[in-house]
Amino acid sequence: MVAVLTADLLFPGASSLKDKRRRLSGLIARIRANYPVSAAEVGGQDLWQRGTVGVALVTTDGRLARSMLDRITDGIGRDGEVELLSSRIEFFHPEGSETA
């Protein structure tokens, strides 16, 4: 299964895209350093104070995925650089049989 976290973010006081991207790249780097996931900005690229981050992982253990994505969600904004406005976790189960 693929587990996906989508987090809508606010960058309070960001005065430029450069400032926002500095904060965002720090957040994404921390997520990647602490968890075996893929993470990237997936929305709001041209907005100074808003953005959306997507985090994904592939696993066979749904409970582990939920726990990991919940911990990532809880950690967003702890440094004061970013505020979490909303988040959503979704699970996608591949259909069909194994392929070669």
Domains in the chain: ranges and CATH: 2-92 (3.30.70.1120)
Classify 44 in phi/psi space as left (phi over 0), alpha (psi -120 to 50) or beta: left
Residues 89/57, Cβ–Cβ less than 8 Å = no
Q: Is the pLDDT of residue 96 over 60?
A: no
Report which of 99, 91, 95, 85 is spatially closest to residue 11, judged by C-alpha positions. 85
For residue 75 the two structure tokens come to: 């950690």
Residue 12 one-letter amino acid: P
**Cβ count within 10 A of residue 96:** 5
Residues 30/78, Cβ–Cβ less than 8 Å = no
Taking residues 61-86, report their average pLDDT. Answer: 94
Q: Is the pLDDT of residue 99 over 50?
A: no
Q: Which residue has the higher pLDDT, 46 or 96?
A: 46
Q: Is the pLDDT of residue 43 over 60?
A: yes
At 91 the pLDDT is 96
Q: For residue 69, what pLDDT band results from cuts at 50, 70 and 90?
A: very high
Q: Is the pLDDT of residue 27 over 50?
A: yes
pTM of structure: 0.88
What angle (nearest 5°) sits at the alpha carbon of residue 19, between those of residues 17 and 23?
Answer: 115
At 100 the pLDDT is 43
